Chains A and B, each alone.
Chain A
Amino acid sequence: MSQTYEKYFVPEPSRYPIFGSIALLLIASGAVMWLNKVGSGPWTLAIGFAVLIYMLFGWFGQVVRESEGGSYGKNVDASFRWSMGWFIFSEVMFFAAFFGALFYIRVLGLPWLADSDNSLLWPGFSAAWPSAGPLVEDPFTPMAAWGIPAINTLILLTSGATLTWAHWGMMKENRGQLKAGLFLTILLGAIFLSLQIYEYMHAYHEMNLKLTSGIYGSTFFMLTGFHGLHVTIGAIMLTVMLFRVIAGHFSKEHHFAFEATAWYWHFVDVVWLMLFVVVYWL
C-alpha cells in the first residue's frame, strides 16, 4: 500500500459491456444455428462479430484515451499488472486441458486400448504413437519436427528477442529502435503464421493428415490451431502497439499496455516450445 493517498480511477457508466454481451449472444446463437443448419446462422454470426469488433474498438479506444489522459495512476497500473498476470494464468490452464488430453491418451489411453483385454475387440491394434485409433483406416503421414516446425521455433524465439530489443528502445527513449523492434516482431509473427498455414495445407493435401485423422489429428490440429489463434491475437495486439507508438503514445515510465502485450507474446512463445517438444518432436 502506498502511503500517500491517490484517488483510484473508477470509470463512468459505460454502454460497451452490453454491446459485448449482445455480440456474444449473437455469436453463440449464430454458431448453434450454423452447426445445426437451421435459420441463417452465418449471418447471425457475422453480425455478432461486427458488434464485437465495434465494442472492442470502442472500449479499448476509451481505455487508451483514459490512459493517455492521465487517469491511471500507480494503483491502477498495479491492478493492470496483476490482472494481466492472472489472465495469462487462465490461458495457461486452457492449454493445459489440451496438453493433458494428449498426455493422457499417449501414456494411458492408447496402451489400455491395445492391451490384452481389448485384443479380442481390436486384434492386431498396437499402441504405437502416432495413432489414429483402431478403426480409422485412412493412413496419414505424421508431421515431422525438423522441417518447418523447427524453423518456426527459431522464428518465434527470434521474435521474442526483437520484442525485448524494442522494449529497450522504449526504456532508452529511442523511438526508432522501438518502432523497428515492434515492426520486426510483427513481421516474424506474420511469417510464422504463413508458414503454419502452408504446413496445414501441406498436411491436408499431401500427407492426408486431417482434423479427422483420429486422435493424432485431433490433438495435433487443436493444439497447434489454438496456438496459432493466440499468435494471431498477439500479432494484432502488437500491431495496435505499433500504431500507438507511431501516434506518440507511451513514455519511459508509463507503457504497461506495451508490457502486457510483451508478456502475452512471451507466453505464446513458451506454449510453442512445449508444442514443439511434445507434439512435433517426441
Chain B
Amino acid sequence: MAAVIPDHLHDHHHHGPTGLMRWITTTNHKDIGTMYMIFSFIMFLSGGVMALTIRAELFQPGLQVVQPEFFNQLTSMHGLVMVFGAIMPAFVGFANWQIPLMIGASDMAFARMNNWSFWLLPPAAILLLGSFFVPGGAMAAGWTMYAPLSVQMGMGMDMAIFAIHIMGISSIMGAINIVVTVLNMRAPGMTMMKMPLFCWTWLITAYLLIAVMPVLAGAVTMVLTDRHFGTSFFNAAGGGDPVLYQHVFWFFGHPEVYIMILPAFGIISEIIPTFARKPLFGYASMVYATASIAILSFTVWAHHMFTTGMPAVGQLFFMYATMLIAVPTGVKVFNWVATMWRGSLTFETPMLWATGFIFVFTIGGFTGLICAVAPIDIQLQDTYYVVAHFHYVLVAGSLFALFAGAYYWLPKWTGHMADERLGKIHFWCSMVFFNITFFPMHFLGLAGMPRRIPDYALQFADFNAMATIGAFGFGFSQLIFIVVLVKCVKGGEKAAARAWEGAHGLEWTVPSPAPHHTFEVPPVVK
C-alpha cells in the first residue's frame, strides 16, 4: 500500500526524463546507488569468467586451454576488473543508497557530480575490457603493473592507464561527495558519535581514497611518460629505479586494500547487532580502531616488497608497522564476537553471511600477519600463499560482506524480503566452495608454487585440481544470487518498514521500498 504510492504521487519534481534518459540524467542517490550495484555485478561476472578461465588452465599441469600470453592478460585484467570494477563500485553503491538514509539527509551533497562519478565508470570499463581486442591484447603486467614490464607492453597498457585515470577521477569525486555528505548533511541531533558505523567507516574510507587515488594516478602517469615520452623514472640507465614504481604503487596499494575492507567492516557492524538484538559492543573503540587502521595503513606499504631489495632497517620497520595493524583489526573482531556474546541470536541470511565473514576473514587476517613477518615472507612472496591470503580477505571479506549487506538491505531497496531458502543455499555453497578453492592454495604456496604462472610442476597437481573444482562451484553458486535478485525485485513477501525486528537506525523508519525522495525534511534524532 503505502509502499509504492509515494514513488509516483508525492514526487513533485520527478517529472524529469523517462526511460533510459532517466538513468542517464538522474540526480537521485537511490537511482545512482542502484546503477553502481548493477554495474559492479556485471563487472563481477566478467572478472569471474576470467578467473574461471585461469582455473581451467590450471586444472592440470601443462598448457591446455590458453596461451601463456593470454593467461597473463587474464590474471592482470581479473585483478583490475575485480578491484576497480566490482568491489569498489559495489561499496560506493551501498554508500549512495544507505548514507543519506542513515544520517537523515535528502540526498548526497552534490547530486549532479554523483551522477558523473557513476557515469565515468562505463567508459573506464569499455577501455579496460576493450583492450582485449586491440593489437597485442590486454595489459599483461599483473594488476600491480610493475615496471619495467608495464613500460614494455603494447597499447593495451595505455588503455589500462587511461582507464585507471578515469576510474580515479570517479573515485575521488565519489569520495569527496561522501565526506561532505557525512560531515555536512547529518540530520539535527545526529552527532558524529551517534552515526551508524557504516557511515563512519565510509567517511574514513573516503578520506583514504582522496589521499591515495591521486598517488596511483601519479604512478601510472610516470609509466605513461616512460613509455612514450622518454622519461627515466623507472629506467636505471637514466638514473631512475624500477623499484621506485613499487614504492609509489604500494603507497597507494596498501591503503587501497583498506578501502576495500573498511566499508565491509561497517556493513558487518550494522548486521551483527540487529541479529544479536544487542547494541554494538564498543562503538567508540570501533571508531578509533577504524581511524587507526587508516592512519597506520600509510606506513606499511613496503611489506609487499620484502624481496625486492630494501635495507634491513626498512624491512624491520615495515614488518613491525604491519604487525601493529593487526591490533585494531583484532579489536574489531573482538567487538563483533562480544556483540554476539549472550545475544539472542538468529541466523537469517544476512547474519549467516556476517558470521561467515568473521570466521573466514579472520583466517585471512592471520595469514596476512604471517606474510608480514619479513623472514617468512621471503619464502612466501609471489607464491600462492599470498593469493590465498588476499582472497580470504577480499572474497571472504569484502565480497561476503557485500552479500551480507545486500541481503540485509534488499527489503529496503525492493520492498520485498529476499528468498531465505535460496539465500541460505547461496551462502552455504559459496562458503564451502570458497574454502575448497582457496584453502589448498596455502599449501601450494608453502610448497613453493609461484603465482601468475600458467604451468606448474607435477607435485602441485592435486591441490590445483581441487582448487579448480572449487572455483567452478563457487562461480556457479553466484548464479543463485541472480535468481534471488530477480525474484526479490519482482515480488515476494512484502517487507515492513522495519524489515528486521532487531534493526535500528533511520533507514528503517521510512517505508519499504524507500520512496524516491526521503528525508526532504530532516528527522530529528534524539
B258–chain A nearest beta-carbon distance, Å: 16
Name the one of B21, B163, B175, B521 contacting A5, with C-beta atoms under 8 angstroms.
Answer: B521
State A133–B231 Cα separation when bound (angstroms).
12
**Contact pattern, B 197-219, Cβ under 8 Å of A = 1, otherwise 0:** 00000000000001111110111
B244 interface residue, CB < 8 Å from A? yes
Q: Cβ of B507 < 8 Å from any Cβ of A?
A: no
**Which chain B residues lie closer than 8 Å to A3 at the CB level?**
188
Q: What residues of chain B lie closer than 8 Å to A18, measured between beta carbons? A: 24-25, 119
Distance A16 CA – B25 CA, assembled complex (angstroms) = 8
Whether A94 and B217, one on each chain, are in contact in the complex, defined by CB atoms closer than 8 angstroms, is yes
Pairwise interchain contact A8-B240, C-beta atoms closer than 8 A? no
Instruction: Return B18 CB to nearest CB of chain A, in Å.
Output: 10
| Interface contact B172-A90, CB-CB below 8 Å | yes
Q: Which of B214-268 contact A (CB under 8 A)?
A: 214-215, 217-219, 222, 225, 227-233, 235-241, 243-244, 247-248, 251
List B490-526 residues whose CB lies under 8 Å from chain A: 520-522
Query: What separation, in Å, do the CA atoms of A58 and B347 have in the docked complex?
Result: 52
- C-alpha gap A29/B251 in the complex (Å): 28
Nearest Cβ in chain A — how far from B242, in angstroms?
10
A222 and B221 CA atoms in complex are apart in Å by 10
Q: Contact: A100 with B248, CB < 8 Å?
A: yes
Q: Mark A26-60, 1 if CB is under 8 A from B, else 0.
A: 00110110011010000000000000000000010
Interface check A87, CB cutoff 8 A: yes
Are A17 and B184 in contact, with the CB atoms below 8 A? no
Q: Which of B24, B159, B184, B218 contacts A97 (CB 8 A)?
A: B218
Interchain CB contact under 8 A, A32 and B159: yes
Q: Which residues on B sit within 8 Å (CB–CB) of A132?
A: 232, 238-239
Does B282 have its Cβ within 8 Å of any Cβ on chain A? Answer: no
Give B112-131 interface residues, CB cut-off 8 Å to A.
Answer: 112-113, 115-116, 119-120, 122-123, 126-127
The CA of A21 and the CA of B116, in the complex, are separated in Å by: 7
Which stretch (A153-161, A191-199, A213-221, A249-257) binds chain B?
A213-221
**Are A35 and B228 closer than 8 Å at their CB atoms?**
yes
CB neighbours (8 Å) of B126 from chain A are 25
Whether B342 is near chain A, meaning CB under 8 Å from some CB there, is: no
A183-221: CB near B (< 8 Å → 1, else 0) gives 000000000000000000000000000111011111101
Number of interface residues of B (CB under 8 A): 82
Output the residue of B109, B229, B238 with the most chain A CB within 10 A.
Answer: B238
A33 and chain B: residue at smallest CB distance: B155
A92 CB → nearest B CB, Å? 8
Q: How far apart sit A135 and B251, CA to CA, in the bound complex (Å)? A: 29
**In the complex, are the beta carbons of A104 and B247 less than 8 A apart?**
yes
**Pairwise interchain contact A215-B127, C-beta atoms closer than 8 A:** no
Residues 212-256 of chain A, each 1 if its beta carbon lies under 8 Å from chain B, else 0: 101111110110000000000000000000000000000000000
Tell me, in angstroms, the Cα distance from A90 to B253 when the chains sit together: 16
User: Which A residues from 1 to 30 make CB contacts under 8 A with B?
Assistant: 1, 3, 5, 7-8, 10-18, 20-22, 24-25, 28-29
* Cβ-based interface call for A150 (8 A): no
Residue from A83, A97, A211 within 8 A of B230 (CB atoms):
A211
Interface hits, A72-103 → B, CB 8 Å: 75, 78-79, 82-83, 86-87, 89-91, 93-94, 96-98, 100-101
B180: CB under 8 A from chain A?
A: yes
> If the complex has contacts A10-B106, A32-B155, A215-B232, are A86 and B179 also in contact, measured as CB distance less than 8 A?
yes
Residue numbers in B under 8 Å from A162 (CB-CB) = none
Question: In the assembled complex, how far is the CB of residue A124 from the closest CB belonging to chain B, in whole angstroms?
Answer: 15
A1 touches B106 (CB 8 A): no
B27 within 8 A of A: yes
A89 with B112: CB separation less than 8 A = no
Query: Could you tell me if B176 and A83 are in contact, using CB atoms closer than 8 angstroms?
Result: yes
Please tell me if the beta carbons of B180 and A83 are within 8 angstroms of each other in the complex. Answer: yes
Determine if A15 and B24 form an interchain contact, defined as CB atoms under 8 angstroms apart.
yes
Q: Which of B212, B225, B243, B251 contacts A218 (CB 8 A)?
A: B225
Which residue of chain B has the shortest Cβ distance to A129 in the bound complex?
Answer: B239
Q: Are A24 and B218 in contact (CB under 8 A)?
A: no
* Docked pose: A26 CA to B22 CA in angstroms: 23
Cross-chain contact of B238 among A38, A75, A214 (Cβ < 8 A): A214
Within 8 A of A (CB), among B145-190: 154-155, 158-159, 162-163, 165-166, 169, 172, 175-177, 179-180, 183-190
Which single member of B159, B180, B239, B248 contacts A86 (CB below 8 Å)?
B180
Judge if B16 is at the interface, Cβ distance under 8 Å: yes
Q: B215 — which chain A residues lie within 8 A by C-beta?
A: 93-94, 96-97
Q: Which residues of chain B are within 8 angstroms of A32 by Cβ–Cβ distance? A: 127, 155, 158-159, 162
B120, B176, B240: the one contacting A109 at CB < 8 Å is B240
Besides A7-B106, A22-B123, A32-B127, 14 new A-B residue pairs in contact (Cβ under 8 A), listed by A number? A8-B185, A29-B162, A35-B155, A35-B228, A59-B112, A75-B184, A86-B180, A87-B172, A90-B176, A97-B214, A100-B247, A100-B251, A101-B248, A104-B241
B interface residue numbers (CB < 8 A to A): 13, 16-17, 21-22, 24-27, 105-107, 109-113, 115-116, 119-120, 122-123, 126-127, 135, 154-155, 158-159, 162-163, 165-166, 169, 172, 175-177, 179-180, 183-190, 210-215, 217-219, 222, 225, 227-233, 235-241, 243-244, 247-248, 251, 520-522
Residues of chain A touching chain B, judged by Cβ–Cβ distance below 8 Å, are 1, 3, 5, 7-8, 10-18, 20-22, 24-25, 28-29, 31-32, 35-36, 38, 59, 75, 78-79, 82-83, 86-87, 89-91, 93-94, 96-98, 100-101, 104-105, 109-110, 112-113, 131-136, 210-212, 214-219, 221-222
